[in-house]
C-alpha cells in the first residue's frame, strides 16, 4: 500500500494513534519507513473507556520519548457512545494541555460533537494551540470557528461525495487553511467510495480540491503540502 502511494506521488504518511495496543505496530512501521512515516500519540475518543487513566498515562510516557510529531487523534465522538461524553472531554482537555506543554500540534477527531469540541477549544483559546481538524465535515460556520481556534481543515474523501456538502462552501475558505488527507482505510473518495481507502487515493482528493478552487492540481499539492509542514514542522 505504501509503495502504491509513493508511486502516486504521496511522500509523507502521518499515522494517528488509537490506544496503547497500536503503539508497537506504529513504531514498527516507522522503523521500516523512517523517512516517510511520522507518528502521533494520543487516546482516540472512541477508545476512552473505563481504563482511560492508564491509557492517558501511556500517552504521557510516549510523549517523554520525543518520537512524536503530534497528539492525535483526540477529541469527542458521540456517534458510537454518548455515555462517555464527560470523560472524553476530560481526556481531550488533558491531551491539549500536554500538546501545549510539548509544543506539539493536535489532530482532532469529531463526530456528532461539534458543540463539545468547540467548548474544549474555547477553553484553550489564545494559548497558541495549532493542529488539524481531521476529516472535516462541518458547515462553513464550523470551518470558520475551527480556523479561529488555530486549526487547519483536514479535507479527505468526503469532499468528493455528492452529498458531502463541504464542496459547496470550501472555496469561501482560503486554501492556506486546508490540508489534504485520506483517513485510510475509511472514507475512500469517489470513484472508490465504499471500498477500502488507501493513501494512493489522495490524488483524487487533490483533483477535487483543484476543481473547487479552480487551481492546477500541482499548485494545490504545493500549497497544501506547505500548509502541512507549517503544522507538523516536517
Burial bucket for residue 159 (CB in 10 Å: 0-12, 13-18, 19+)? buried
Q: Quick one: fold of 1-112?
A: TIM Barrel (3.20.20)
Assigned CATH topology for domain 130-234:
TIM Barrel (3.20.20)
Residues belonging to the chain: 234
Q: What is the DSSP string of 62-129?
A: HHTTT--SEEEEEEEETTT-GGGHHHHHHHHHHHHHHHHHHT--EEEEEES-HHHHHHHHHHTTTS--
Residue 85's pLDDT is 97
- For residue 161, the model assigns a pLDDT of 96
Predicted pLDDT of residue 21: 98
DSSP 225: H
Average pLDDT, the chain: 97
Strands 151-155, 70-77: pairing kind: unpaired
Q: Do domains 1-112 and 130-234 have the same CATH topology?
A: yes
The helices-and-strands tally (H runs, E runs) of the chain is 8, 7
The pLDDT tens digits along the chain (234 residues) read 999 999 999 999 999 999 999 999 999 999 999 999 999 999 999 999 999 999 999 999 999 999 999 999 999 999 999 999 999 999 999 999 999 999 999 999 999 999 999 999 999 999 999 999 999 999 999 999 999 999 999 999 999 999 999 999 999 999 999 999 999 999 999 999 999 999 999 999 999 999 999 999 999 999 999 999 999 999
The closest alpha carbon to 162, from 190, 204, 137, belongs to 190
Alpha-carbon torsion, ordered 191, 205, 152, 131, to 10 deg = 80
Specify the pLDDT at position 165: 94
* Residue 57: predicted pLDDT: 98
- DSSP one-letter code for 153: E
- The rounded radius of gyration (Å) of the Cα atoms in the chain is 17
Unique residue bearing C-alpha cell 474555547: 122
User: How far is Cα 128 from Cα 150, in angstroms, rounded to an integer?
Assistant: 7
Note whether 209 and 186 are within 8 A (CB): no
- Residue-level pLDDT at 108: 98
Which sequence spans correspond to the domains of the chain? 1-112, 130-234
Amino acid at each position: 500500500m505504501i509503495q502504491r502511494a509513493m508511486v502516486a506521488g504521496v511522500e509523507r504518511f502521518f499515522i494517528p494513534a488509537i490506544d496503547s495496543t497500536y503503539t508497537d505496530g506504529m513504531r514498527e512501521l516507522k522503523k521500516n519507513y523512517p523517512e516517510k512515516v511520522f507518528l502521533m500519540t494520543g487516546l482516540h475518543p472512541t477508545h476512552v473507556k473505563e481504563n482511560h487513566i492508564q491509557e492517558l498515562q501511556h500517552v504521557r510516557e510516549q510523549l517523554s520519548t520525543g518520537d512524536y510529531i503530534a497528539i492525535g487523534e483526540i477529541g469527542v465522538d458521540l456517534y458510537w457512545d454518548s455515555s462517555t461524553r464527560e470523560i472524553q472531554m476530560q481526556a481531550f482537555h488533558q491531551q491539549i494541555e500536554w500538546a501545549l506543554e510539548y509544543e506539539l500540534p493536535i489532530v482532532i477527531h469529531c463526530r456528532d460533537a461539534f458543540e463539545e469540541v468547540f467548548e474544549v477549544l474555547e477553553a484553550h483559546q489564545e494559548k497558541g494551540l495549532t493542529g488539524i481538524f481531521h476529516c472535516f465535515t462541518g458547515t462553513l460556520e464550523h470551518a470558520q470557528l475551527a480556523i479561529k481556534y488555530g486549526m487547519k481543515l483536514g479535507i479527505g474523501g468526503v469532499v468528493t461525495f455528492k452529498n458531502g456538502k463541504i464542496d459547496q462552501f470550501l472555496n469561501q475558505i482560503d486554501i492556506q487553511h486546508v490540508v489534504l488527507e485520506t483517513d485510510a482505510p475509511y472514507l475512500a473518495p469517489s470513484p472508490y467510495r465504499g471500498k477500502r481507502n488507501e493513501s494512493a487515493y489522495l490524488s483524487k482528493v487533490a483533483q477535487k480540491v483543484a476543481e473547487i478552487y479552480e487551481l492546477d492540481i500541482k499548485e494545490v499539492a504545493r500549497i497544501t503540502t506547505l500548509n502541512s509542514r507549517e503544522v507538523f514542522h516536517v
